[in-house]
Each structure stands twice: as C-alpha cells, then as structure tokens.
C-alpha cells in the first residue's frame, strides 16, 4: 500500500498477541483502483467488479461492499455457492455466476435473484423455458467462446440463438460476454482476432449489452471496452500491464512474526532437505508463515522479505508452517523475536512475489492463507 503502516508499531499494536502473521487488506486502495480503471474507460462503458475466489483471496464480502459504495453495480463470482453467499449483502447489485446454470438450479437462481452466465445451449434452453413458463425476463448473461475453448457457447450456437425469437424474448435484458486469452500481451495477434469475432457477434445482438475486457483488456484500448469491463486482478493491486510500471495501488500487505532468531555457532545447513548452507556467525530469523498459509513452496531459496529498511533473502526450503530468513546483515537490534517481516507490500507487490515463485500474481492472491489474522482498512458500512 502507498502508506504502509510501520510494521513494528501500528500494525503490531493492533494485532492479537497470538497472531503468527497479519494480512491487511486496504479496501480504500481497491476502491481507488476501481476509480482509476473507470477513468480510463470509453464513454458510456461501465466497470464491474470481479470478486470470485473469495475476492481473489481478499474477502469477497468486504471487497464487494466497498466497491458497491464506490459505485459498482455488477459483480462476477465463479461458483454458485459464491453467488448465493454474496447476493444477500448486495440486494441492489447484479451478482453473476460464471460457472453457469448447473442442472437443477434454475429455480434457486431465479428465487435468489442471481444472474446466471449461460455457457452452453442446454443452459440457454433451460433458462428460456423457465422465463416462458413464468412470463419473466430477468437479467441474464450469455457467454460466447472466442478462443479460450473452456466455457461459453460456440460461435455457431450463438448465431443460432440470435435467430431464435422465443429465446430472444426471454433475453430482453441480456449481456453478451466473451473472455480474452492473452490480453497481457498487447502485441499478440489473438487479441485482434478475438475482438473482430466479438464485434461480429455483437452486431448479431443489437439490443444486448456487451462485455469483453478483463483487467489487462482495459489497457488494450477503447475498442475493447464495449458496455462493461470486468477487472479482477488490477482491483487488488496486480499489474495489468506486465513489463510496464504498475498503474494500480498496492492493496495487500502481509507481515509475518519473527518467532526465533538464531546465531549460527557452526557452519551447517538450513531447513528440510539441507538445501542451503550458512556459515558460522550467520544469523537466521524464523517467521510464522509457510506453504500451508499459501506462501508457495516454490519460493524456497528464492523469496525475500523486508525487516524495517532491510531486504533479507529467504534461506532454505519453505516449510509447512515456517520460513527462515538470512538476517546476517541486519543489526541485531533491528530483528528481534516479536518483530514482523514484510513478505508482501510496498517493497514487494503480489506480482513481484509471483515472479520469484514462478507463477502469476493471481495465484499469490488466491492462496492467501486462512491462518493469517486479517484486518481491513476502509470498510464500508
């Protein structure tokens, strides 16, 4: 976050003394990211909030409530469960379930006011039948696949739908959406090909609204914005423009408590598998975070942390509950039992951690652990 709390004072004093690690989610930063993305949009385009996977690990309910307060009115989740959990907190927003309309759930969705994202002709048919039988036409999303081969109607099925008068009556409030495959790579030819296919499709549904862009898709330019964009990662501070400076604000800070400091009296190895060596006179700080907290094991011997102004490398393997840091270069008074080391924050954002772990920032976020003590800044009422 822009103004990170001093790990040794403010944050620590707020924490329960038992906490092994403190995860702080800055909802004001998320709201500011929402505003920053909105300011980039083509005239008339709206900005949704993607809060699937428990709000990218940050807490779907507090995040969505804060985004609603910031003006967001359309939300996307993945699982039906996530939709049913979120909707009561956002009665005046559209909560759309990307997994689609699972068999047997039509009445449940309709009763709860959940918006299904229809992913195949069977789901279209089930929804059409429901609407005809009940003489209603609630909001609905039709997902068309333009290159992901994962979910969504094939183009031919979408074309057929555009000719189907019965279905279109049920779909008077419809959003047609598709999903970009390589939006993080602006030069990739697949972007333009998907855009052309989607423009063709949109012309077939003249009364529908349309949505194509995810976080990175917003930065491909106004042609990609249509009526609604659907950012996720960028809201949480992830960089939607890899290789360029990050235009978003950090929203996540992870501090882990130093629970031991060891003076190494004779040279030896550190951690499981004896994968790292340390010389006599070195110092090791052990912190209360491990891969069971979602601090990925692939960060073994590659992660880093910050203790006050000092950058310290991770040494040895990440173990289930613990990580060891080489603090030989840190003055002893700056690294004592009870102090906190910053693993994610202003010094090292989620994408930086991801790069060290050999993955993407999304996985770092969605892995954020359930043993962390969590605090929210800027919660909405």
Q: Which residues are catalytic?
A: 52, 272
Where in 49-78 is the site for a second copy (CB under 8 A)? 52-54, 57, 78
Q: Which of 92, 163, 265, 333 binds a second copy (CB under 8 A)?
A: 265
* Calpha distance 102→148 (Å, rounded): 20
Residue 79 or 89: the one with the smaller Cβ distance to a second copy is 79
CB of 129 to a second copy, least distance (A): 17
Asked if residue 149 binds a second copy (CB under 8 A), the reply is yes
Q: Residues 71-110 vs a second copy: string with x where CB under 8 A?
A: -------xxxxx-x-------------xxx-xxxx--x--
Asked if residue 145 binds a second copy (CB under 8 A), the reply is yes
Spatial neighbors of 163 by CB under 8 A, at least 6 apart, are none
Residue 297 or 311: the one with the smaller Cβ distance to a second copy is 297
CB of 11 to a second copy, least distance (A): 16
Instruction: Name the residue among 247, 217, 210 with its Cα closest to residue 232.
Output: 217
Asked if residue 260 binds a second copy (CB under 8 A), the reply is yes
Spatial neighbors of 341 by CB under 8 A, at least 6 apart, are 7, 255, 256, 257, 258, 285, 287, 305, 306, 307, 312, 325
Asked if residue 148 binds a second copy (CB under 8 A), the reply is yes
**Residue environment code for 328-356, b if the CB has 16+ CB neighbours within 10 A, otherwise e:** bebeeeebeeebbbbbbbebbbbbbbbbb
Asked if residue 151 binds a second copy (CB under 8 A), the reply is yes
Angle at 377 between CA 371 and CA 381, to 5 degrees: 105
Asked if residue 337 binds a second copy (CB under 8 A), the reply is yes
* Calpha distance 180→217 (Å, rounded): 7
Looking at 7-15, 119-127, 133-141, 238-246, which segment touches a second copy (CB under 8 A)?
119-127
Residue 102 or 377: the one with the smaller Cβ distance to a second copy is 102
Q: Which of 27, 286, 327, 348 binds a second copy (CB under 8 A)?
A: 286
Looking at 6-14, 40-48, 87-95, 150-158, which segment touches a second copy (CB under 8 A)?
150-158
* Calpha distance 181→184 (Å, rounded): 9
Max CA distance (Å), the chain = 81
CB of 244 to a second copy, least distance (A): 18
* Calpha distance 67→73 (Å, rounded): 8
130, two tokens:
């429901």
Q: Which of 290, 303, 349, 361 binds a second copy (CB under 8 A)?
A: 290
* Calpha distance 109→205 (Å, rounded): 24
Q: Which of 298, 301, 302, 310 binds a second copy (CB under 8 A)?
A: 298
């Amino acid at each position: 976050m822009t103004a990170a709390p001093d790990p040794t004072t403010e944050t620590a004093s707020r924490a329960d003394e038992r906490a092994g690690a403190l995860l702080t989610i800055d909802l004001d930063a998320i709201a500011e990211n929402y505003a920053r993305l909105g300011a980039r949009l083509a005239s008339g385009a709206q900005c949704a909030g993607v809060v699937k996977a428990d709000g990218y690990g940050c807490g779907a309910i507090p995040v969505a409530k804060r985004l609603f307060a910031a003006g967001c009115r359309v939300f996307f989740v993945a699982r039906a469960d996530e939709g049913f959990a979120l909707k009561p907190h956002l009665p005046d927003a559209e909560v759309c379930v990307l997994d689609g309309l699972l068999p047997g759930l039509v009445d449940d969705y309709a009763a709860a006011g959940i918006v299904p994202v229809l992913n195949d002709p069977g789901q279209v048919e089930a929804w059409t039948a429901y609407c005809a039988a009940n003489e209603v036409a609630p909001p609905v999303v039709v997902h068309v696949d333009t290159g992901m081969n994962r979910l969504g109607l094939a183009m031919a099925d979408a074309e057929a739908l555009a000719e189907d008068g019965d279905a279109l009556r049920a779909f008077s409030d419809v959003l047609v959406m598709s999903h970009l495959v390589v939006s993080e790579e602006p030069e990739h030819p697949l972007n333009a090909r998907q855009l052309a296919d989607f423009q063709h499709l949109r012309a077939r549904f003249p009364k529908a609204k349309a949505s194509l862009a995810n976080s990175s898709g917003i930065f491909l330019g106004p042609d990609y914005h249509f009526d609604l964009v659907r950012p996720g990662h960028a809201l949480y501070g992830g960089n939607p423009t890899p290789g360029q400076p990050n235009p978003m604000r950090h929203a996540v800070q992870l501090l882990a408590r130093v629970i031991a400091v060891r003076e190494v009296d004779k040279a030896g190895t550190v951690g499981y598998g004896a994968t790292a060596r340390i010389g006599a006179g070195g110092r090791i700080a052990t912190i209360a975070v491990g891969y069971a907290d979602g601090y990925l094991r692939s960060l073994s011997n590659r992660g880093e942390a910050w203790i006050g102004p000092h950058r310290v490398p991770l040494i040895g393997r990440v173990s289930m509950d613990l990580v060891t840091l080489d603090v030989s270069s840190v003055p002893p008074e700056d690294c004592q039992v009870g102090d906190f080391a910053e693993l994610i924050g202003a010094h090292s954002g989620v994408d930086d951690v991801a790069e060290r772990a050999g993955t993407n920032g999304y996985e770092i976020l969605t892995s954020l652990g359930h043993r962390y003590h969590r605090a929210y800044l800027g919660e909405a009422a």
